[in-house]
């Protein structure tokens, strides 16, 4: 059995999961970071509390905190149920049980909800959607995108993926995307077209192993750096 969603789900991860998914170092964290499709993750709230500078963009930020909470409430049971039916698709080392995943995610999302209003006032949560970001060129040092691009490959075309990654590369000098897998537990068919397009645009593009694996086999990020930079390669 595979996991299938009719739409992109609001489901949020924590700061420590972002650090793992993207191999974030202290140097990375001290830069200006944009999280694309951060949704109800607590990355921004926790990073801000630690003194880092993170801007999150997501179309769900058009909703009120109450509306987002309702949407999470409407969908989390379905997500957990799909995981229950596909337990062998996941690696149970970081999380010990499904209850542990559920509690960790709900805790992260509550942390996000508690921060949302203040973060909106401070311009840290922006209602915007890939592939159009309301920022000038090179406004950020690092653009991140987790559990949206590549993961929802059935819902989003190759053209969308290319336009989205190109836009992330316009507003930031480095781009990282995690995971490269789709919900069928294999590398997304969009990965190679995105790599080829961005390489042709002069970017250095590499699959980089990371110290994070929950969806079995999904333990690499895509890292895009300007071709003059020397980054870790695979
Ligand atoms: C599964 S959540 C992932 C949240 C977070 N990045 C994480 O890893 O925990 C996917 C998010 O993508 C957002 N999304 C959907 N369409 C988008 C678009 N065109 N541009 C940016 N984000 C989008 C959804 O609203 C949702 O919050």
Q: For residue 48, give the CATH number of its domain.
A: 3.40.50.150
Domain-embedded: residue 120 = yes
75 CA distance to ligand 1 centroid (A)? 14
Render pLDDT for 53-101 as a digit per residue (tens, 0 to 9).
999 999 999 999 999 999 988 888 888 998 999 999 999 999 999 999 9
> Nearest-5° angle of CA 2, CA 69, CA 97?
45
Q: What are phi and psi of 226, to 5 degrees?
A: -60, 145
pLDDT at 77: 87
Domain-embedded: residue 12 = no
- Mutate which of 10, 14, 37, 163 to test ligand 1's pocket (most atoms within 8 Å of Cβ)? 37
Q: 3-state DSSP call for residue 90?
A: strand
Which residue ranges have their beta carbon within 6 Å of ligand 1? Answer: 8-13, 36-39, 41, 58-60, 129-130, 146-148
Range of the domain at 62: 20-226
Give the least confident one: 5-19, 49-63, 135-149, 185-199. Answer: 5-19
Number of structural domains in the chain: 1
Structure confidence at residue 216 as a pLDDT band (50, 70, 90): very high
């Amino acid at each position: 059995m595979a996991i299938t969603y009719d739409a992109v789900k609001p489901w949020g991860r924590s700061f420590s999961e972002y650090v793992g998914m993207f191999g974030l170092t202290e140097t990375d964290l001290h830069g200006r970071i944009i999280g694309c499709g951060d949704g109800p993750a607590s990355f921004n709230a926790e990073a801000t509390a630690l003194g880092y500078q993170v801007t999150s963009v997501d179309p769900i930020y058009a909703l009120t905190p109450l509306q987002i909470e309702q949407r999470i409430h409407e969908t989390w049971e379905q997500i957990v149920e799909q995981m229950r039916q596909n337990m062998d698709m996941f690696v149970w080392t970081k999380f010990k049980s499904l209850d542990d995943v559920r509690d960790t995610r709900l805790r992260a999302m509550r942390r996000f909800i508690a921060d949302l209003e203040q973060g909106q006032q401070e311009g840290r949560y922006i209602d915007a959607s890939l592939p159009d970001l309301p920022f000038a060129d090179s406004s950020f040092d690092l653009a991140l995108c987790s559990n949206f691009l590549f993961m929802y490959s059935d819902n989003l075309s190759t053209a969308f993926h290319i336009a989205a990654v190109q836009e992330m590369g316009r507003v930031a000098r480095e781009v990282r995307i995690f995971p490269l897998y789709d919900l069928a537990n294999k590398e997304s068919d969009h990965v190679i077209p995105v790599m080829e397009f961005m390489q042709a645009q002069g970017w250095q593009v590499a699959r980089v192993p990371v110290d994070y694996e929950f969806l079995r086999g999904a333990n690499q990020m895509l890292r895009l750096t300007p071709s003059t930079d020397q980054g870790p390669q695979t």
